[in-house]
Amino acid sequence: MTPAIDRAKKAKIAYTIHEYTHDPAAESYGREAADKLGVDPAQVFKTLVVAAGDGLVVAVVPVLHQLDLKQLARVVGAKKAAMADVAVAERVTGYVVGGVSPLGQKKRLPTVIDASAQEYPTIYVSAGRRGVEIELSPSDLAALTGAAFADVAA
């Protein structure tokens, strides 16, 4: 059980947990998840912590794409955005990089989910540990995180 799974369970939403054996040599955690779970990589989303303006923001984007930092900055009303330092991201979320979940973070951060998530009945995001994904509806993810949908993938 992770804080992410606990959060979904307490919210009584529909979700499915998928586990696989994580390969520490994998170049992309998200692509590894899609490959090992045999799912469309367009439905697998990575969770990124970004320094924007004076604070931190979480961006949830498809693993096949990069985050458009300029677009994210515009969406959150910041002049610029940059990837947060790994140590800061891990401290604030309570998760290790590669296992950062948008759910159950130590501190709830403003969250933006790429609008492409709305094209699918369910998407996969980290469940808070490398090798564990949680499948849930994009609308439930948005409701649990207070997220907005916006085009932030490049």
Cα separation, 18 vs 32, whole angstroms: 13
**What domains can you pick out in the chain, each with its CATH number?**
3-150 (3.90.960.10)
CA gap 84, 89 in Å, rounded: 6
pTM over 0.85: yes
Output b/e per residue, 104-119; b: 16+ Cβ within 10 A: bbeeebbbbbbebbee
Distance CA 132, CA 118 (A): 22
Amino acid 41 reads P
Residue 112: what residue type?
V
Per-residue pLDDT at 46: 95
Mean pLDDT of all residues in 15-42: 90
Average pLDDT over residues 106-110: 92
